[in-house]
Amino acid sequence: MERMELDQVKEMFGCMADAVIGKEALLTEIDEKIGDGDHGIGMARGFLAVKEQLPKMEAVSVNALFKEVGMTLLDAMGGASGVIFGTMFISGCGAVPLTDTLSLKELAPMMKRSLDNIQKRGGDRRGDKTMIDSYGPAVEALLAAEKRGDTLSAALKAARDAAEKGMEQTKDYSARKGRAEAYGDYSVGIPDPGAVSVSIIMDAMYAYAKKTEEENT
């Protein structure tokens, strides 16, 4: 798959919403161990709002659609997670010219812009045991795939794998940011909830691209 049409990008966000909502219990269980226990609830609430609003979104560009999804997450979730995951989709919309299709040429710089803005906002670095430990490698994988000239689906697979690996590595870290910071070394052995959420999101993006590609061959 080289690119997605605007309607397909909407469908991809729907699959993403279903994936996050379906993992609410898992995210809650993890966050109860090293956080406030509300991460799963917040993520599910945000993506349920996205799922409900998608049919009503009248965006005529991918850029606008990403922004609408991000704003929906920001409004529905609230709190730090709402800002972070809202920014994940809002910030990248101005990184590329307006487009009604999504290829790797657009997705890679959009995700890079959002990663930069998230890090500027929170000051998080790799190893702090945050979503950056998963999102950073995913974005790097997208950028590397763009340089290689990979297809969009191949790039999303690489990003999914990198996000999962980064998420798994957070188990080895002692938290240095966010609510989990108070748990210090007690957080070792448990993945960061935000990193798990990023892994779920990247997996859903790839799963949609793979499914669509298979249906069209």
In angstroms, the CA 195 to CA 173 distance is 12
The CATH H-level superfamily of 3-215 is DhaL domain (1.25.40.340)
Are 169 and 135 within 8 A, CB to CB? no
In angstroms, the CA 194 to CA 215 distance is 32
- The predicted pLDDT at position 179 comes to 66
Q: What is the DSSP letter of 93?
A: G
Q: What is the DSSP letter of 172?
A: G
- The predicted pLDDT at position 182 comes to 73
Every domain of the chain and the residues it spans: 3-215
In angstroms, the CA 67 to CA 188 distance is 35
- The predicted pLDDT at position 178 comes to 67
Closest CA to 160 of 12, 30, 8, 10: 12
Residue 95: partners with Cβ closer than 8 Å, 6 or more residues away: 109, 110, 112, 113
pLDDT in tens, the chain (217 residues): 899 999 999 999 999 999 999 999 999 999 999 888 899 999 999 999 999 999 999 999 999 999 999 999 999 998 889 999 999 999 999 999 999 999 999 999 999 999 999 999 877 788 899 999 999 999 999 999 999 999 999 999 999 999 999 999 999 998 887 666 777 788 899 999 999 999 999 999 999 999 998 888 7
- The predicted pLDDT at position 175 comes to 83
Residue type, 88: M
In angstroms, the CA 163 to CA 131 distance is 9
CA 194 to chain centre: 9
